[in-house]
Structure formats: C-alpha cells, structure tokens
Structure 1
C-alpha cells in the first residue's frame, strides 16, 4: 500500500508469514516494543500453530492461506519469516499484492532469484527490507562514527573472529534445516552473511580477498533422532583481503565451538585501537565496546551514548533489540523517505560475496570484488 494512502501517524499494520521460534522470540517482541507497528495477521502452514500464536500474542487474524495474508485489508507490511527455500513464494505474493515486504536473510537460496526479486520489488515501488539487522545495533553505529571522527586515526586492519556454539555435530531439532546444502542455511550464509554485513556496511567492501573453507564435521546428529545426516558444507571459513585504502582484513568463522565462543572484532588504527566483543554470537548479551588511544594504553570500556538507541525503554535481549532497531529504521524510512534499513539489494550484494568466497576457495585464486550496487 502506498504510504500516502494512510495517515502517517497510523501504525504500520503487519502480517506475518511463518510462526516459528524466531517469530515468537524475535519479531513479535521487537514489533510490540515499537508504537509505530501493530501486528494484525499471521499465517502458518499449520492452522493450529497460527491460531495458537495469534491467541498468545493478541493478533486479531489467524488466516489460512498465503493469498489471504498478503491481500488482507489490514496488512501494510508482510513479514516473510519461514525457512529460506520458502521465501521466494511469500516475497512474490507480497509484491504482487502491492505490499511492502520484509524477508529474513538469506533472501532466497539462489543469487539469481534474489536479484530477480530485488528488481521486481523496485519496479513495483514497494519498500523492501532484508533481515540483516545487526548492522543497525547501536554499538556498531557508534563505532562507525568513532572511526569517521578519527578516534583511532587511519584504519590499518580489521580482524573478526566469529566462533559459533551451535551448528556442530549435534544439533537441536529446530536446526535440522541447517544441514542440507540446498537450504542455503549453513554457517557461511547464516553467520557469515550476518557478520560480514556488519563489516561491509560500516567499513566498506574489500577490494579483493582470498578464501579458504573446510568441512571438518562430516555428519550431524539431530536431538531425538538416531539418524546421522551427511554434512558437506563448510564449518570453518577463513577470509583475508584488503580494503581500498590499504587496510587489511582477516576473518575466521567456525561452527561447533565447545567453549570460549562468541564474537570479537579488532580495529587497528594509526592512533589507537577499538575492540567489539560478545560472549555469544546470537543471544541476550549486548556487545562490549572498548578503545584506547596512544601507545601501550589499556583498553577502556566505551559506553554507547543514548542517542544511538532508537527504542523506547526496554528489556529486550541483544539479538531481539537489533531486530527492533531494524524496524525502527524502517519506520523512519517510511516517514522521511530515507533508506536506513537494509534492502533486497543489500541481500544480493551479500549473495554475490558468498559466491566469490566459494569461488576463491575452489580455485585458490585471490578474488577481486566488483563495485557493489546500492538500493
């Protein structure tokens, strides 16, 4: 629906496709935190699940078909929250209905299909958002501004280590879908996509890189099942590259970490250093930001200024708060005509980077990164 057709002060009415764990743990609490939104409808392949979620969260309509959801007169924004192989159908239906559309990352399981959907959304004039929400967390935006203000001088290096406590040889039943390669939901697309997007959104795309991947986990057991499923996708990814200004990039992603897991990003500059860390890759804790300037100085905690928090007072965990910031950005975009929230075109850029990583690993050749397209 065109933004001008409704009073700008009226809430954005949301219809949800997919009533799984992340919908209830992440999206519904995030949206309920923001007065700019009202969840009005939910659809699931299980009518019983849709009815349960609607009743639990005060959602007025539990609908029984995708067509009913996207064409519902009380839905302005369609959220596509089911698994990656099912995203395309929901996105196409929302675009055909002329509705704004949010889709979880990965956008689809195919770079070509994702590019087609980005073009369709742009041609239809519907606002489109992809769930690469981590870039909008207050801490990352604060660090980005510190860099722009010269806190550490000229950037010399970026080092990121993401060690994931899940995606190992034993997985919870709700993670069974991450094993088949055709689902495009393994370590590189999921954690690589989210965390590489942080780097690229705030520090730019590297000019070139080389990549190495390894498949050390050969089979996966799912909780509650005796079956061992062949596992053929990478559970270790190494990426080394260089940015346009000569700063170097080093990334390691590893799955199935038993201990000492989490996130660490180190930024080295000519005048100082910054560090971003977290004891988990996905969960309640928020990032710790630390910095130091000069020589041989201890890192000091840098509290994130209140101006970077776009949310009302809340008790949301780190990952859910990141998602709420994405929705806050979308509400601002609708109001101001901006593009703060990541769009489908950002998803296509990430798809293409993942393709380049796999190509570099296959050939052993350093890969040039083409100029990215922006929304």
Structure 2
C-alpha cells in the first residue's frame, strides 16, 4: 500500500507541477552529471533540481554547497526515499547502477539511468523486469537519438531519400581506449566494470543506427585488445587493459540491408566518424569528430538521382526544437537536455518517446550477441 501511494504521489506531481529531480552521482569535483545533466536541468522549465547524493555524505554536502541544492543525501536509498523527489537520475559508474536503480524502484520513483542500464545483459534484464512490476516510468540515457542530425537522418531515410536501403557502413574512433587513459579513468580499462568501448560509444551509436535503419536480425563479429598495456596521461603509469579496443561487426538488418560497423580505440589521424547509407535512389553520408554519437558534432551530406557528388544537407531549424537549450548546441549537455524535454512530455502526456528499461535490456541483448559471435566465431541470430 505504501509503495502504491508513493507511485500515485510521484505520478501526480510529475503531471501537475514541476518534476522534483534527485541526482545520484552529482559531484563537486567533476564528472558527467555536472557537465551535462546540471546545465540541461537548470535551463528547462518544468523541472526542479531538489536533491543529490554523492559517493560519501561529505562529498554530497560539498556538492550541495557548490550547486545550491539543500537536500544533500548520504546515500542513494536516502535520496530515493525523499518525498520531494519524483525522478531519480542515476549518474554513477556502471557497477553501481543496479543498487541505485533498485532503491529508486523500491521507493516507487520514476528513474532515468545512464547507459548502459546494467553491468551485462543479465543485470539489464533483471532491472527491466523489476521496473515493469514497479509500475513507474523508466528512461535510459541513449541521448544520441535526440540529436537533431540523427533525427533528420531518420526522416530522410523514412521519406525515401535513398530509396530502398541496400547497405550501411560505419567506421568510428572510440576516443578513449587508445594508448593513454585519463587520470581517474582506469575503471574503463577493465571489461568486468561494464563501461567499455563496446557498451558506451558502440552502444550509443548502434542504437541510433537501429533507430534510423531498423534492428539487426543477425550479427557476426571480431573483437580484439590490441593494446593490452596503456599508460596514464601525465604520470606515464602503466596499466593493463582487458577491454576490446577493436570491435568489428557485420550483419543483416531486419529489412535485409547489409550492415558493417567498426570501432577503433583512441583517435585516428584519418577518419574519426564516417557513416554511409547506400540505397537504390541515393546515398547519405554522416561525418563527425569522434565515435561518441551522443556527443559528436555531425555533418550530413547526400546525393540522389542524377547527382554524382554528395553535398551538405544542413539540419533544418525545426529539429532544434528546445529553444531554452540553444546556447548549449555545441556542448555535450544539448542532447541530454533534449532528452529531458521529451521525458517531461512523456510524464505529463503519457507518451513514450524516450527509451525505457525494456528498450535498454533489448539493446544490451544485441551487445551480448556481438560478444558471443566474437567469442565463438559464429553468426548469431537475434
């Protein structure tokens, strides 16, 4: 009965007034939350950032003082139980996602979790199942889908710019997982921590590929760790890397189109993001400055019919549809903010425009299929 009452209270608040947000992982020092979530939330009407929790009570107090947030909690469970919080935002490292999300769901709160949802396919499936039973709204931070260029690309394909899609090929640099790693970034080197080149930039990018062109029906894959030892920037300290820094996937989409995706660790002196879509009537090309599609600066070009050279197709202004975020267009916070604007609409109007936990679990099943295909040398059907 208590959980049902909390669910009703949270839903009513989200529908009738500002959505009270509590962020788990908002640090006074650095991190993704102050870089992206904070600037987005402070610009958007309809949200009220009311609470935070950090790694320790002391860290939470420091962050509360820095950002002017009075409700600084000593644990994720304490934040989730706060009656002022309607939406719990999970912005911590992947191994902590499960405990934070379960606490929020047990408290009957809506949840936005960073991608990937869980540390592996089993954990993601568990969280999606618990969320379905909890009866709250869940959202996953696959914000590349919100990028204006990606939405424009989806519409160009849907409107027949290329005709029937024959194939697509994508090559990208992972930016991290090269010869060096950032201080404090050693956790990204251990595949057991769940934050890898496959799960993060590949996962974000392949999710948008599926949004534009449809889901994979089958995959084959090759992965490798070509740099088993890397060095920390500044100190030169050596560290072992078990994460794959080469991920090459080929497969067939549900439409029958052939797909090829290759991610390389680090950055290239040549091409850091190149995506082609080839069809019976035309071709589309997307270029960017790196392979994290959720953050990259993108240029769309195309040609069709008798045209023989691709030309830039500027993204129309209608895709920049959240004016409160215009000053963030060149920042990582922009796509996060667009996603928040859609979450607000989903909560108030009952729409489903932002990927939920069930979607996230399905996407992690695709990544698991890639890993199984690479490990066995076989083609895996989805």
TM-score (norm 2): 0.91
Q: Per the alignment, do residues 188 and 297 of structure 1 end up closer, same or farther by CA in structure 2, a change over 3 Å counting?
A: same
Contact 2:41 2:47 in 1 (8 A): yes
Contact 2:118 2:127 in 1 (8 A): no
- Single out whichever of 82-91 and 5-14 deviates more from structure 2: 5-14
Q: What displacement does 1:4 show?
A: 4.7
Counterpart pick for 2:115 among 105, 108, 128: 105
Contact 1:139 1:287 in 2 (8 A): yes
> What secondary structure sits across from 2:162 in the alignment?
coil
Tell me whether 1:288 sits opposite 2:299 in the alignment: yes
Contact 2:167 2:258 in 1 (8 A): yes
**Alignment deviations for residues 203-228 of structure 1 (CA, whole Å, 9 cap, x no partner):** 11122121111110111222355542
CA distance in structure 2 between the partners assigned to 1:331 and 1:280 by the alignment: 30
Identify unmatched segments of 5+ residues in structure 2: 1-6
Aligned to 1:358: 371
Q: Per the alignment, do residues 26 and 94 of structure 1 end up closer, same or farther by CA in structure 2, a change over 3 Å counting?
A: same
Aligned to 1:19: 26
**Alignment deviations for residues 86-130 of structure 1 (CA, whole Å, 9 cap, x no partner):** 110100000000000111111121311211111111111111111
CA distance in structure 1 between the partners assigned to 2:175 and 2:213 by the alignment: 26
Contact 2:150 2:208 in 1 (8 A): yes
Aligned to 2:313: 302
CA distance in structure 2 between the partners assigned to 1:36 and 1:47 by the alignment: 28
Aligned to 1:6: 13
Q: What displacement does 1:202 show?
A: 2.2
Counterparts of 1:266-277 in structure 2, within 5 Å, are 266-277=276-287
Q: How many residues align?
A: 369
CA distance in structure 2 between the partners assigned to 1:285 and 1:194 by the alignment: 11
Tell me whether 1:190 sits opposite 2:200 in the alignment: yes
Aligned to 1:148: 158
Root-mean-square deviation (Å): 1.8
Identify unmatched segments of 5+ residues in structure 1: 370-375
Tell me whether 1:202 sits opposite 2:202 in the alignment: no
Contact 2:97 2:118 in 1 (8 A): yes
Q: What displacement does 1:296 show?
A: 4.6
Counterparts of 1:205-354 in structure 2, within 5 Å, are 205-223=215-233, 225=235, 227-282=237-292, 286-313=297-324, 314-316=326-328, 317-354=330-367
Q: Per the alignment, do residues 226 and 138 of structure 1 end up closer, same or farther by CA in structure 2, a change over 3 Å counting?
A: closer
Contact 1:33 1:311 in 2 (8 A): no
Segments of 4+ moved more than 6 angstroms? none
Contact 2:295 2:335 in 1 (8 A): no
- Single out whichever of 142-151 and 77-86 deviates more from structure 2: 142-151
